[in-house]
Amino acid sequence: MAKKRAKRPVAKKKIKPGKAVAATPKPASANGVDVQREVEQFLFRQAEILDGRRWGDYIGLFAENGFYWMPASPEQTTGEGMPSIFYEDRDLMTVRMKRLTHPHAWSQSPLWGTSHLVSNVTVEKQDPRNGDVVVRSRFHMMEFRRETSRHFAGSYVHHLQRSAGGYRITLQRVDMVNGQGPYDYVLQAWV
């Protein structure tokens, strides 16, 4: 045991305090339209559709080439070629919907419901040419299934395409704070 003590690893980078963040972001607006209010209404409506188990309407919020993505870990920057908890285009979302609505989806027989709260909505990017936006928000979801409640919380990043009929999702990224812990049972529907 005559060895030298191993040095403790030390943080190499000095951490400096960051610059102050503007308390109030610039109001997002395009041609006089209140974009902040529009995207909030879109996110709230999406949550209502999900809690109402209106699976078809939910898929309809996505663009034809849209993806719902929950990465396996927060560092991931793409779902292509990487493990994901969900990485679903509209076709795979349709498989999920059809399973959920099949009379023999056995795990659907106990009483099951969710309640989503969406908040901290920030418009991060806005394309002045076409009105497309990237929106960050936070969510909290409570699920009740067979006498048991579960809670999931985290962030959403929505890439929204502006079209005549309103926004459509080209990519929804979901990162759950408790997404990497062991799952007590599984996730049957989108969060």
Partner 1 sequence: MPRDNGLDLRGLVEPDRVHRRVYADPHVFDLEMDSIFHKVWIYVGHGSQVPKPGDYYTAQVGRQPMIMVRHTDGKVHVLYNRCPHRGAMMCGARHGNVGKAFMCSYHSWQFDTDGKVRSIPLVQGYEGTRRSPEDPDCSMKPAARVESYRGFVFASLAKDGPTLTEFLGEAKIGFDDMCDRAPEGEVEIVPNCFRVIQHSNWKIFLENQLDALHPAVTHEAAGRAAFDVEKDIERRTGKAPLYYHYLSAFTTPMSKWDQFQTVNYPNGHCLLQGYMGLRPRDPDTLAYEAVMRKHYGAKRAEEILSVNIHHVLLYPGLSVQSPLQQLRAVRPLGVDRTLTEIWHFRLKGAPEAIYRRSLGYYNLVNSPATLINADDLENFWKCHQGLASDGGDWVSFHRNAGQDDEENGVIKSRLGTSEAPMRNQFRAWIGMMASGR
**Interacting positions 51-110 with partner 1 (CB under 8 A):** 70, 72-73, 81-87, 91-92, 94-99, 102-107, 109
Span near partner 1 by CB under 8 A; candidates 17-25, 44-52, 121-129, 179-187: 179-187
**Considering just the CA atoms, what is the radius of gyration of the chain in Å?**
20
Tell me the per-residue interface mask from 119 to 158 with partner 1, x by CB under 8 A, - otherwise: ----------------------------------------
Q: Is 48 in the site for partner 1 (CB under 8 A)?
A: no
Quote the distance between the C-alpha of residue 29 and its chain's center.
23
Q: What is the DSSP string of 120-165?
A: EEEEEEE-TTT--EEEEEEEEEEEEETTEEEEEEEEEEEEEEEETT
- By beta-carbon proximity to partner 1, the closer residue of 38 and 143 is 143
Decide if 135 contacts 102 (C-beta within 8 A): no
- By beta-carbon proximity to partner 1, the closer residue of 42 and 179 is 179
Task: Name the residue with tokens 């990497």.
Answer: 180
Least Å distance, CB 79 to partner 1, is 9
